[in-house]
Amino acid sequence: MSDLELPPPPWQRPAAKRPRTPRAPLSRDQIVEAGLRLVIEEGVDAVSMRRVAGRLHTGASSLYAHVANKEELLLLMFDRICGQITVPPPQPQRWREQLKDVMRQGHEVLLRHNDFARTAIASVPSGPNALLITEAMLAILLSAGVKRQVAAWALDRMFLYITADAYEVSLERGKIGELSSQLADYFGDLPASHFPNIRANADVLTAGNSADRFEFGLDLLVEGIARSLEKREPGGD
């Protein structure tokens, strides 16, 4: 019967309402974009679920409504990257140059994304964009007369090469200059009793930049394929 109104005791206070900022719902695209931005700015190790979510002003667990796990996110990011590569219709007389062009593009696209190639190495290129590239390169090889099995396996090897080299280059990126000269000195200082050839060739072992080496490897692969055009089908000998 008392008209006196007391404040509610602490044990009866209603739970604080969880503030919810009204905003457009998250999307997978946004998550992928945020992840790629982080890669470009800080490298692949910066892509944690918390960091990605922070970029979108949400929480890490919110991402799991859109991607199954981090691995799926990285795969999506990879396929998004593959979408930046343009593939040409096959010109049989120029198959070598066409192959190299696509491979160079792939390499460059990866390098534009810091050390993301580390993830690419571990990924099966099965997203829509990656498959379009596979399709185009396969068409180029087949149009050149390369045997089916050679074409298939060469594709596989080329993909491996691009991603592995891009990863390696990304690791050296911050230290390409100092590492080379230090390595040359190191090689030159090795004991002659065990390392005569390395000592004598320290200059060429440390020569060239990463682009030189990548191109050299492209040549090896493409020349190796060319040689197969002059031979029997593999796996048949």
Query: Which residues have CB under 8 Å from 153's CB, separation 6+?
Result: 234
Closest to 127 (Cα-Cα) out of 185, 77, 85: 77
- Count, residues near DNA per rule CB under 7 A: 27
Answer yes or no whether residue 182 interacts with DNA by CB under 7 A: no
Taking CB under 7 A as the criterion, the residue among 39, 47, 99, 117 binding DNA is 47
Q: Is the dihedral of CA 222, 224, 227, 231 positive or negative?
A: negative
| 42 lies in the site for DNA, by CB under 7 A | no
Closest separation in Å from C-beta 232 to DNA = 46
Question: Min. distance of Cβ 139 from a copy of itself in angstroms?
Answer: 5
Per DSSP (E only), the strands in 34-105 are none
Q: Quick one: what does residue 219 bind among DNA, a copy of itself, none, with the CB cut-off 5 to 8 Å set by partner type?
A: a copy of itself
Contact partner, 64, from DNA, a copy of itself, none, Cβ < 5-8 Å per class: DNA
Question: 54 to each of 20, 27, 34, 49, how far by Cα in Å?
Answer: 16, 14, 9, 8
Number of H helices, E strands in the chain: 11, 0
Binder among 164, 180, 184, 188 for a copy of itself (CB under 8 A): 164
Q: How far apart are CA 29 and CA 63, in angstroms?
A: 11
Segment 3-32, which members bind DNA (CB under 7 A)? 15, 17-22, 25-26
CB 199 within 8 A of CB 190: yes
Q: Tell me if 160 contacts DNA by CB under 7 A.
A: no
Q: Between 17 and 232, whose beta carbon lies closer to DNA?
A: 17
Q: Which is nearer to DNA, 26 or 132 (CB)?
A: 26
What does each C-alpha distance from 205 to 62, 178, 209 come to in angstroms? 50, 15, 11
Say how many Å lie between the first and final Cα of the chain, rounded. Answer: 103
Rounded Cα gap, residues 237 and 235, in angstroms: 6
Which residues in 11-40 contact a copy of itself (CB under 8 A)? none
Residues lying near a copy of itself in the complex (CB under 8 A) are found at: 121-122, 124, 126, 131-132, 134-135, 138-139, 142, 148-157, 160-161, 163-165, 167-168, 171, 179, 183, 186, 190, 194-198, 201, 204-205, 207-208, 212-213, 216-217, 219-228, 234-235
Residues lying near DNA in the complex (CB under 7 A) are found at: 15, 17-22, 25-26, 46-51, 57-62, 64-66, 69-71
